[in-house]
């Protein structure tokens, strides 16, 4: 009875709210997850060629990095308003906006990873007859993975937070519940949706961290094998 009264009392923590609105929470969480995944995936596909272009032609590196930085600084409301005539009130509008926001992180990290590849590794691969494409996919990209995946982690966590802004067009996942709860002063809804959003960010970061360690085992600090101490030689008593 007390749990049901928490809805009437409008408590922040209310188990009855979670039980009675479980499907609504699941639907919002699923929408939040797929918008985040789609945005980061498309962001990587767009950022990768931009980073390659910036590395190949130094004259365009500055404009590319500058443009992605400017895009990240555009307020979300203004960004969605600019994209509205093209995409209308749809999920594509939110995904496109989030992709543009992710580029400043992804392009910089991919470019930094590629630039960190030792020149000796490139020269050795060329000496073995590697062409530019094979050199990129089999030598440079694997060595750049730590930086690339670090960028993906940061972009993913950032996108989990930014997805909530999609409430403006009713495609904000958990953000839609948070804002509607704030407007109606529904405390349990605000807190529950916010907690789930934070948990999504933490889980995504841990999963990507595990993937990073799995794909880049050479980055793990190897402990030096402990040498077993030999007992000090016993002193031989001199014969009297």
| CA nearest to 40, candidates 146, 145, 157 | 157
pLDDT of residue 27: 93
Model confidence at 217: pLDDT above 90 = no
Structure tokens at 35: 């918008």
b/e map 195-213, b = 16+ CB within 10 Å? ebbeebbeebeeebeeebe
Q: Average model confidence (pLDDT) for the chain?
A: 85
Domain coordinates in residue numbering, the chain: 12-218
pLDDT of residue 221: 57
Contact 165, 76 (CB under 8 A): yes
Mind listing the pLDDT tens digit for each residue in 39-66? 999 999 999 999 999 988 888 888 999 9
Q: Taking the complete model, does pTM exceed 0.85, yes or no?
A: no
Model confidence at 204: pLDDT above 90 = yes
Of the pLDDT bands very low, low, confident and very high (cuts 50, 70, 90), residue 4 is: low
Region 12-218: CATH code = 1.10.3720.10
Residues sharing a CB contact under 8 Å with residue 93, sequence separation 6 or more, in sequence order:
80, 83, 84, 87, 169, 171
pLDDT of residue 235: 47
**Neighbour tally for 45: CB within 10 Å:** 11
pLDDT of residue 120: 86
Of the pLDDT bands very low, low, confident and very high (cuts 50, 70, 90), residue 121 is: confident
């Amino acid at each position: 009875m007390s749990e049901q009264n928490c809805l009437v009392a409008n408590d922040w923590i209310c188990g009855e709210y979670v039980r009675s609105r479980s499907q609504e929470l699941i639907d919002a969480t699923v929408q939040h997850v797929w918008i985040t995944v789609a945005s980061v995936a498309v962001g990587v596909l767009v950022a990768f060629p931009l980073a390659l272009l910036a590395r190949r032609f130094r004259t365009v590196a500055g404009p590319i990095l500058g443009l992605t930085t400017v895009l990240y600084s555009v307020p979300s409301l203004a960004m969605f308003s600019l994209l509205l005539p093209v995409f209308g009130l749809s999920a594509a509008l939110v995904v496109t906006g989030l992709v543009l926001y992710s580029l400043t992180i992804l392009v910089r990290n991919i470019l930094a990873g590629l630039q960190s590849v030792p020149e000796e590794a490139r020269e050795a691969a060329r000496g073995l007859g590697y062409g530019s494409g094979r050199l990129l996919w089999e030598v440079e990209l694997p060595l750049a993975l730590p930086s690339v995946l670090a960028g993906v982690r940061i972009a993913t966590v950032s996108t989990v937070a930014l997805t909530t802004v999609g409430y403006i067009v009713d495609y904000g996942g958990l953000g839609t519940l948070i804002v509607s709860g704030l407007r109606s002063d529904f405390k349990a809804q605000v807190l529950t949706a916010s907690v789930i959003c934070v948990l999504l960010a933490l889980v995504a970061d841990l999963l990507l961290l595990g993937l990073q360690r799995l794909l880049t085992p050479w980055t793990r600090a190897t402990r030096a094998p402990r040498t077993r101490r030999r007992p000090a030689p016993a002193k031989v008593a001199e014969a009297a």
